[in-house]
Amino acid sequence: IKSNAHALARYAALVQEAKMVPIVEPEVLMDGNHSMKKCFEVTSKVLKECYRELKIHKVNLKGTILKPNMILPGNKSFEKSTAAQIAKNTLECLKKNVPVEVPGIAFLSGGQTEIEATQNLNEINKINDTNFLISFSYGRALQQSALKNWAKDIKNISSAQKIFNHRSKMNGLSTSAKWSMDLEKQLTI
């Protein structure tokens, strides 16, 4: 944890020195059978160390974006969590461990399905009582369905584009807590 936090802080300092905005990504993977509580504990430890190192390296936190994981049980855990529980625990972890100067948080999808990642982000934004602008930086949860569809017929570009545009729209709505399952189901190809 210390080595990774140190490397992230050095990176962030160099990026700011080059007059750019560093995206600080201290991801805790959801691989394993750990509980949501354990994820909260480990993520807290990682964030605390990360911000300790950023301070040592004199990184201006107002000029950074945090790219963390959500607080989730492991992907092999038998513990089931609702989007409301994930949102509550994730926001609590952020409030306890991320300095208020940080302007933006862009979540990783971290192995969640497209719908889970969108729904969880929507729930976080419903209860966001911080000054953090909370958004997404999804890879798989943004493009997986479009890529699967495109792989079936690489000449059918418009279908893949419609699917990708739909995912983009759904995730965009979740940043302002305006997503719903009804809107999710409106995709027509």
Catalytic residues: 25, 67
Beta-carbon contacts of 189 under 8 Å, excluding residues fewer than 6 positions away, are 149, 159, 162, 163
Tracing tokens 């545009």 back to the chain, one arrives at: 165
Helix extents (H) in 57-156: 83-97, 114-127, 140-152
CB 10 within 8 A of CB 57: yes
CB 162 within 8 A of CB 189: yes
Helix extents (H) in 23-82: 36-56
